[in-house]
Amino acid sequence: MIYNGYKITHKVVFSLLLLLFAVSVSSCSPFNVDETSQNVRPAETEPAENLIRVGFSQLGSESKWRRANSISIRDALTVDDGFFLQFNNARQKQENQIKAIRGFISQQVDYIAFCPVTEDGWDTVLKEAKDANIPVILVDRQVSADSSLYTTWIGENMRKEGENAGLWLEKILEERGKNHDKINIIELIGTRGSSSQLGRSMGFDTVCEKHKNWVMLDREDGEFTTAKGQEVMSGFLQKYDDIDVVVCQNDDMAIGALQAMKDAGMDLYGDEKPIIVSFDASRQGLEMVMQGIIDVDVECKPSSGEKLAEVIHELERGNQVAKEYYMDEEVFTIDNALKYVDERSY
Which residues of the shown chain bind ligand GYE in the complex (CB under 6 A)?
Answer: 62-63, 65-66, 140-141, 156, 190, 196, 224, 250, 252, 279-280, 300
Closest CA to 188 of 335, 333, 294: 294
Query: Largest Cα–Cα distance in the chain?
Result: 86
Both ends of the chain: CA-CA distance in Å?
A: 50
- How far does Cα 341 stand from its chain's mean position? 20
Smallest gap from Cβ 161 to ligand GYE, in A, equals 8
Q: Which is nearer to ligand GYE, 76 or 189 (CB)?
A: 189
Q: Strands, DSSP E only, in the chain?
A: 2-3, 6-7, 31-33, 40-42, 52-58, 83-89, 111-114, 136-140, 152-155, 183-189, 214-221, 245-248, 275-280, 296-299, 324-326, 331-332
Q: For residues 54 and 84, is the Cβ–Cβ distance under 8 A?
A: yes
Rounded to an integer, what distance in angstroms lies between the CA atom of residue 135 and that of residue 142?
Answer: 16
The count of other CB atoms within 10 Å of the CB of residue 325 is: 17
Smallest gap from Cβ 306 to ligand GYE, in A, equals 17
Q: For residues 53 and 77, is the Cβ–Cβ distance under 8 A?
A: no
Q: Which is nearer to ligand GYE, 230 or 250 (CB)?
A: 250
